Amino acid sequence: MRPRSTLRLLRLRRLLRLTTRFTAGLALALLSAAPGRGDEASPRPNLVLIVIDTLRADHLPFHGYRNTAPFLAELASRSVVFSHAFAPSSWTAPSTASLFTSLYPEQHGVLSGLLATRKMQEFDASVTLNRIPAPITTLPEFLRECGYHTFGVSDNLNVSRDLGFDPGFDEFVMFPYAGADSVDAVLSRWSADIRASEPYFVYAHYMDPHVPYNRRDPWYEAPAAPRDIPMARYDSEIGFVDSRIRAAFERFGWMNDAVVIVTSDHGEEFYDHGHTEHGRTLYQEVVHVPLLIRVPGKDAARREGPVSILDVYPTVRDLLGFAPAAEHEGVSLEPALGASWTAPRRTLYGHVRRQVYRGGETRTSVISYPWKWIRTGDDVVELYDLAADPGEKTNLAERNADIVSRLSREYDSFASGMPAFAPESTRTSLDPETIERLRALGYVR
């Protein structure tokens, strides 16, 4: 990796923030002046970004599972589906911040999100939160600068104003896991404004597959073993949120006339490696996420190369005719939406900092497909062949010291040379109701 510096990145950011509005205005002027357009409606597509929290890819029908999500399966049949899409962390805040910025967690500095520890509960109800640094132009900010009307609804406390997710949105609502019906109610309330605001960008973050797993009928299928009841409830939550996403698509006609991107911030563990929930590890069950992109007029396809949710922002830029942003770590997937695509060789990185009451150590990873390297702290290293062992059951580190050494150097080079923004934080107080919500979501112990 070529040497890069924080100073260079900040200088680029200042320049880009000054020029983006001019570039966007120029592009729109050229579009409106194109021969034959006259007073026709703008060719810019409406954009819809759906994030389904805690949704692991291998619990979806288009990844080989039973039909937990019939609507998403229908959407996938009309979309480009990426078989090997990865999140850069197994926490909501770091991954979603990466989705919004096309930067890795170590770069944007949002490493943990809204976590409440025993110490907080005993002595005070205030917490210090990482937030997306103000100098970063996020995806909604970019789109608003391009003339989009922007709407965001988040059902997760970790995607909030406190953490810096609201800049760029004309309308932004966050509530603490009220469920997909509440997300649908907000979209319904905004329906007239959204329809009158073309081109528009809608970001909807659904929370339902997250703990606590509710039993959702008629999607619940009783398992044979009691230990699998949580997973069965989780699967029923997928069916429930799938039905509510269908309702939103039918209301707005998104299947026909919008660019639609569906993904997740991370997956979930069901004793795959001895744990439950998420935020502890970087195994496939928590970082392999769905990613599908539906562009009207583009054929459906399945792409096998490794990609990242960091690629969403560069892809949107490309679809709108903008060159790659110099500071982005993701790449545009627009070429993959064509008739054929050869996946470029690339390296993807992962990072999770565990909560203090879970040990507090940091885990990092490198995916250089098919190899996946995981390091816990400074001394425990694992290596897996994802092509031969997608469940990561056989640690090959001892048998492949050369590969371990190469990937260790690659991560260390990335970590030491990456451009990073100065971290920003804010302190907020949590009321008793919010603390109870956090406890229900597993964020308080």
**Residue-level pLDDT at 321:** 94
Which CATH architecture group holds 46-105+120-333+426-440?
3-Layer(aba) Sandwich (3.40)
- What letter would DSSP give residue 116? B
The whole-number average pLDDT for the span 320-336 is: 95
Let me know if 368 is exposed, middle or buried by CB neighbors in 10 A (0-12, 13-18, 19+).
Answer: middle
Q: Which of 7-16, 140-149, 259-268 has the lowest mean pLDDT?
A: 7-16
Q: Residue 281 — very low, low, confident or very high, per pLDDT cuts 50/70/90?
A: confident
pLDDT score for 364: 93
Residue 291 and residue 85: Cα distance in Å, rounded?
6
In the predicted model, is pLDDT for residue 10 greater than 80? Answer: no
Q: What value does the mean pLDDT take over residues 188-203?
A: 96
Query: Contact at 8 Å (CB) between 50 and 262?
Result: yes
The answer on pLDDT for 162 being more than 80 is yes
Mean pLDDT of 288-307: 95
- Name the residue with higher pLDDT: 422 or 27: 422
Handedness of CA 316, 320, 323, 326 (dihedral sign): negative
What pLDDT is recorded for position 232?
96
Beta strands in 281-341 (DSSP E): 288-289, 291-294, 301-308
Least confident of 37-46, 307-316, 371-380, 421-430: 37-46
Assign 15 a pLDDT band (cuts: 50, 70, 90).
very low
Write b or e for each residue in 63-76: b if 16 or more Cβ atoms lie within 10 A of its Cβ, otherwise e: eeeeebbebbebbb
CA angle 355, 361, 365 (to 5 degrees): 110
Return the pLDDT at 233.
Answer: 97
Identify the residue whose tokens are 């560069």: 314
pLDDT tens per residue, range 177-188? 899 999 999 999
Q: Is the pLDDT of residue 117 over 80?
A: no
* Secondary element (H or E) of residue 98: helix 92-101
**Taking residues 16-24, what's their average pLDDT?**
41
Q: How many CB atoms lie within 10 A of CB 413?
A: 12
Cβ atoms of 311 and 293 within 8 Å: the answer is: no
Contacts of 396 (CB under 8 A, 6+ apart): 383, 384, 385, 403
Does residue 135 contact residue 430 with C-beta atoms inside 8 Å?
no
Averaged pLDDT, 365-373: 95
* Average pLDDT taken over every residue of the chain: 85
Angle of CA points 94, 95, 96, to nearest 5°: 95
Whether residue 104 has pLDDT greater than 50 = yes
> What distance in Å separates the CA atoms of residue 127 and residue 117, rounded to the nearest whole number?
9
Query: Average pLDDT in the 57-68 region?
Result: 96
pLDDT band at 26 (very low <50, low <70, confident <90, very high): very low
Give 411 or 426, the one with higher predicted confidence. Answer: 411
pLDDT tens string 374-421: 998 767 899 999 999 999 999 999 999 999 999 999 999 999 989 888
Per-residue pLDDT for 292 more than 60? yes
Lowest mean pLDDT among 95-109, 124-138, 150-164: 124-138
54-63, 211-220, 234-243, 350-359, range with the lowest pLDDT: 350-359
DSSP letter for 372, please.
E
pLDDT in tens, 219-232: 999 999 999 999 99
